[in-house]
Amino acid sequence: MDGIDGRVPPAAREITTGQANRVWSVEGPTRYILKHYGDPSRAANEAAALRLLARHRAPAPQLLAASSGSSAPSWTAQAALHAKPVHLDRFLADLAEPLASIHRIPGTHFGRLAGGQQHRSWTGYLHDRLRTYAAAAPALRAVARCLHQEVDASVDTIRPVLLHHDLQPGHLVREPAGSRMLIDWELAIFGDYRSDLARLAVRLGLDDPTPVFALASQPGATAEGRLHLYWRIHLLADAALSTDRVVRERAAGRLPGSNVT
């Protein structure tokens, strides 16, 4: 869009809340949110996700502009929302409708939409992630090995759909008209919809992922078993990769066979 070039205008107001990116609210004829990313692949992935969501008219922010591959830092500009985070007491109930619409969007492969390796199978994607976690945390290799075996024992007939893959309170907002919208799409992937639910259970700090099973689009014993498997994989991810020691220790404590403290 004309006039948006990724630079921070003098009057912009910084609203950064996380550690990976810097975010500003920019006023003007077009009010927008400017994000600068520490990881260029996340910028490319979020831009790709927002473009896909727009094509399907799904509940997500409008992408106004994005950096080219040579820009530094990488950035996106997204239309500002007149919305507030959904109250925690209503989070799961309000999440159901927008999440179902997103999980109906078909994917073309498994893995990130852009800026990452693409896989032909969901099993291949999971094995790749487990190898990454084991390499980052050698003390957890035995746990990763057991999860590799469980993945191999599962029948892989998964068809890829769009996943937000960072569901948590604060990423679901409600507009004045009442519609709900998911924000922050930089970790989006194509994969099994139950992985979204399992990651949500980890973000909510649940000792068991069962409470989020109500959001499953195809409930059943097999679906619930997959949910528990993916929940342990996401726990391993936090235990191996989180930069927050408290998060690492909490996740490792929930993993059977873990001796990490």
Query: For the chain, which residues make up each domain, given as ranges?
Result: 13-79, 84-254
- CATH fold of 84-254 reads Aminoglycoside 3'-phosphotransferase; Chain: A, domain 2 (3.90.1200)
Does 258 have pLDDT greater than 70?
no
Does 222 have pLDDT greater than 70?
no
Does 221 have pLDDT greater than 70?
no
Beta carbons within 8 Å of 239's beta carbon, 6+ residues apart = 133, 137, 140, 248, 251, 252, 255, 258, 260
Report residue 131: phi and psi, to 5°: -65, -40
Asked: is 13-79 a CATH 3.30.200.20 domain? The reply is yes
Report pLDDT for 233.
98
Which of the four pLDDT bands, split at 50, 70 and 90, describes residue 44?
very high
Cis peptide bond prior to 138, omega within 30° of 0: no
Which of the four pLDDT bands, split at 50, 70 and 90, describes residue 120?
very high
Report pLDDT for 190.
98
Does 219 have pLDDT greater than 50?
yes
Does 261 have pLDDT greater than 60?
no
Report pLDDT for 161.
97
Does 214 have pLDDT greater than 90?
no
Does 19 have pLDDT greater than 80?
no
Does 220 have pLDDT greater than 70?
no
Beta carbons within 8 Å of 81's beta carbon, 6+ residues apart = 33, 61, 173, 175, 181, 183
Interval 175-198 mean pLDDT: 94
**122-136: per-residue pLDDT in tens?**
999 999 999 999 999
Enter the pTM of the model.
0.93
**149-163: per-residue pLDDT in tens?**
999 998 778 999 999
Please tell me the least confidently modeled range out of 62-66, 86-90, 175-179: 175-179
Residue pair 83/98 in contact by the 8 Å Cβ criterion: no
DSSP calls for 175-235: -TTS-EEE---TT-EEE-HHHHHHHHHHHTT-SSSGGGGGG-SS-SHHHHHHHHHHHHHHH
Interval 98-111 mean pLDDT: 96
pLDDT, mean over the chain: 91
Cα 35 from Cα 14, distance rounded (Å):
10
